[in-house]
Amino acid sequence: MTIPYTALLAAALALAGVVNVASAESATPAGGPRTPGEERAINLCSTCHGPRGISTSPEFPILAAQREGYLVAQLEAFQAKTREEKAAHDFMWGIAGNLDAATIRSIAQYYASQPPAAGRPGDPALVAKGRELWEKGVPDRSIPPCASCHGAKAEGVADFPRLAGQHTKYVTRQIEFIQTLTRKAPVMHGIVKDLTPDEMQAIAVYVQSL
Amino acid sequence: MNGKIGSDLGRSAALAVLLWVVATHASAVPSFARQTGQECAACHVSWPELTPYGRFFKATGYTIGKTFWSSDKPGVNYVPAAVMAQASISSVRNNSATDPDTGDTTSVMPRQNLPVFSGASLFVATKLNDYMGIFYQWTYDNLAYDDAGVRKGHSSIDNTDLRAAYKYAPENADIPDWIFGLTVNNNPTVSDLWNSSPAWGFPFATSPLAPTPAAATIVDGGLAQQVAGLGAYAWWKKTIYAEIADYRTANVMANALRRGLPYNDPGGVFAVTRNNPYWRVAYAHDWDVNSIMLGSYGMVANVYPDNLNTTTPTDRYSDVAVDAQYQYITDVHTVTAQATYIWEKQSYNASYPITQETGSGYGAGPTPANPTDRLRTFRIKGSYYYERVYGATLAYFQTTGSADEGLYGTTANGDPNTPNSNGYILQLDYLPVQNVRLLLQYTGYGKFNGARSNYDGTGRNASDNNTLFFDVWVAF
């Protein structure tokens, strides 16, 4: 009388074992083995950051085509708990805490090599104002143009992050965090500390449109 | 009596101290949070409601993060256990019932307006390996009463869900195209990923003492912790979800899944046949900060009317439900809404003939006056949270069904009574830290067990059962 249920349970556990083996095989697709970063990005990071790093929720940043060095630096900052705004603390400390240096590098390479997200048009007046700030800064207040570090089209330069196509909400929030020293970025703090909320919004709407 | 009150106050005081310790050491979080290194907010809008990431965590078998034992260094990575406790105060609008014959007045609910330690749960909730995880809950009910009406704390198994899951991402996939899984659990819908089905649906806490409507469909907690089920599920591109399971009485080898329940008492728990199918299908879609689910679930349960006698014919309960969920989740504002409608057909293939023949049912089983009855339950709720700290919820619930004198007695007019009840819940929540919840809940009834007024023949009205409930709920 008791055999079927025990057998079912045993079958379930056995299937879990089979799945274990199968997964090792499926991790090696025809095009060559997946890197640890690809495996992690596809099977875990995509849950919040979207397929190939293009998230739909502005609560989570777009990672597609992001600068590799910047991604490594951020994952290391989450791991070291030196990037400590609430979302970093709640979501990313735990995720990054389980990564080794090679996997961090591999994840960064995966996202850096993905096609970028398409720009999304915004309010033309805000876009125009944002472009002005991006290209010229505010010389009167000694605010340099964003383009000088982040690139003419916000594509990112060296380890300075790509902002083109990024969610407006995410960009404004990060500028606020840097302004209030919630997120430690000494160079950026000096540059954005005098930006007004309207200016932040204009810059963020502009980069999202690129 | 005084000793008991004193001991309860002692427990309440001890709990207050514990709450203070927890509230001032907010880094103490339950075991899944220790496993993932993430905060409650990653998986929960407001526990137990799951975020899209929380659903992914559950669907993938609770396997994100570390196992609790460390293979490369001595010792453990984290404690794979967690504790939850609740203390509360309940107040019923009219706590007196008067016997129409003798004129004697009795209390409807014990401990009116007095603090009580409701109970506590121990969880073993952890990743077991890269493909398996477990959620196991054992609950101590401090307010269990024995047949003589004497309070007697009692502990028993609660919701339990052992999972094995596998993600399949073929070449060129950018997310796992398929998530497959198996679940062994002890409550139909406990394996579900959405909070519109019964096991994890609203209300998440209610007064442990106040009167509540009697009738409920069998998929709505009727078999909780009395059955063992094996289910298989698949989730395609996190869009189309399907699950099938088969439940049976949790006895013999599966006895652990109903440990502590009164299965040797007449009418204590349900005894069901060997095969009782459960199914669930859902369409889910996440976009921007929104998440929606439209689904259906149900089960067929073949129940022995006398839970101590499995040689008789059985009654059949066939449940079909539709449900929906919407979530809007940002860091500051969250809005969530869930609704479900459950239809149940009760076919008293065993109980009706024996009742007709002998005037009584099998053992402590039902004595229906109809060969078949219907029972329908509708629930809807909406919640708003500000920064996941301050919350407000409004809910409506309704159960309607066939009039059946054998099951529900007669009305004041002598007509067969119905199981009809309805009402609303207003709830305010405050979470000073993420693992401590203070809630103030008001439940108002429009109908109770068949009627708005004089529902029990003693002149008691539905609204007399309106309940104010204050609850302190901690998990660590």
Which residues in B lie closer than 8 A to residue A31 (C-beta atoms)?
171-172
For the stretch B420-441, pLDDT in tens is: 999 999 999 999 998 899 999 9
**pLDDT score of B77:** 86
What length does chain A have?
210
* CB count in 10 Å sphere of residue A24: 9
d(CA B423, CA A162): 54
Check if the beta carbon of residue B205 is closer than 8 Å to that of residue B471: yes
What is the architecture, at CATH level 2, of domain B28-475?
A: Beta Barrel (2.40)
A16 Cα to chain B: minimum distance (Å): 6
Domains of chain A from N-terminus onward: 34-117 (1.10.760.10), 124-209 (1.10.760.10)
The pLDDT of residue B2 is above 70: no
Which residues in B lie closer than 8 A to residue A52 (C-beta atoms)?
174
Residue B206 — very low, low, confident or very high, per pLDDT cuts 50/70/90? Answer: very high
Which residue of A lies nearest to B180 if distances are taken between CA atoms?
Answer: A19
d(CA B258, CA B264): 12
**pLDDT score of B4:** 45
Answer yes or no: do B252 and A52 touch at CB < 8 A. no
Amino acid (one-letter) located at B73: K
Which residues in B lie closer than 8 A to residue A44 (C-beta atoms)?
64
Percent of chain A residues topping a pLDDT of 70:
85
Percent of chain B residues topping a pLDDT of 90:
76
Mean predicted lDDT score pLDDT of chain B: 91
| Cα atoms found within 13 Å of the Cα of residue B357, Cβ hemisphere only | 8
The pLDDT of residue A13 is above 90: no
Three-state DSSP state, B222: helix
Residues of chain A whose beta carbon is less than 8 angstroms from a beta carbon of chain B are 1-2, 4-6, 8-9, 12-13, 15-16, 19-20, 22-23, 26, 29-31, 42-44, 46-48, 51-52, 56-59, 86-87, 89-91, 93-95, 97-98
**pLDDT score of B16:** 52
What residues have CB less than 8 Å from A60, skipping those under 6 apart?
A: A48, A49, A50, A170
* CB count in 10 Å sphere of residue B359: 9
**pLDDT score of B233:** 98
**pLDDT score of A178:** 95
**Comparison of pLDDT for A86 and B4, the residue scoring more:** A86
The pLDDT of residue A7 is above 70: no
Instruction: Return the structure tokens found at A167.
Output: 């969610």
**pLDDT score of B401:** 97
- Map out the domains of chain B as residue ranges: 28-475
Burial class of residue B72 in the structure, from the number of CB atoms within 10 Å of its CB (0-12 exposed, 13-18 middle, 19+ buried): exposed
**Comparison of pLDDT for B106 and B346, the residue scoring more:** B346
Question: Taking residues A81-98, what's their average pLDDT?
Answer: 93
d(CA B220, CA B269): 14
CA separation, residue B115 to residues B245, B258, B439 (Å) = 41, 30, 14
For the stretch B270-286, pLDDT in tens is: 999 999 999 999 999 99
Answer yes or no: do B37 and A95 touch at CB < 8 A. yes
d(CA B62, CA B154): 29
For the stretch B331-357, pLDDT in tens is: 999 999 999 999 999 999 999 999 999
The pLDDT of residue B14 is above 70: no
Among A47, A85, A98, A172, the residue to mutate for chain B (most B Cβ within 10 A): A47
Mean predicted lDDT score pLDDT of chain A: 88
Which residue of B lies nearest to A90 if distances are taken between CA atoms?
Answer: B39
Answer yes or no: do B37 and A98 touch at CB < 8 A. yes
pTM: 0.90
**pLDDT score of B72:** 74
Task: Write down the residue that tokens 């979501």 correspond to.
Answer: A91
Check if the beta carbon of residue B361 is closer than 8 Å to that of residue B354: yes
ipTM at complex level: 0.86
The pLDDT of residue B25 is above 70: no
Which residues in A lie closer than 8 A to residue B52 (C-beta atoms)?
47-48
Question: Taking residues B132-139, what's their average pLDDT?
Answer: 93
Question: Taking residues B125-132, what's their average pLDDT?
Answer: 93
**In this complex, which of B37, B172, B174 lies closest to A93 when CB atoms are compared?**
B37
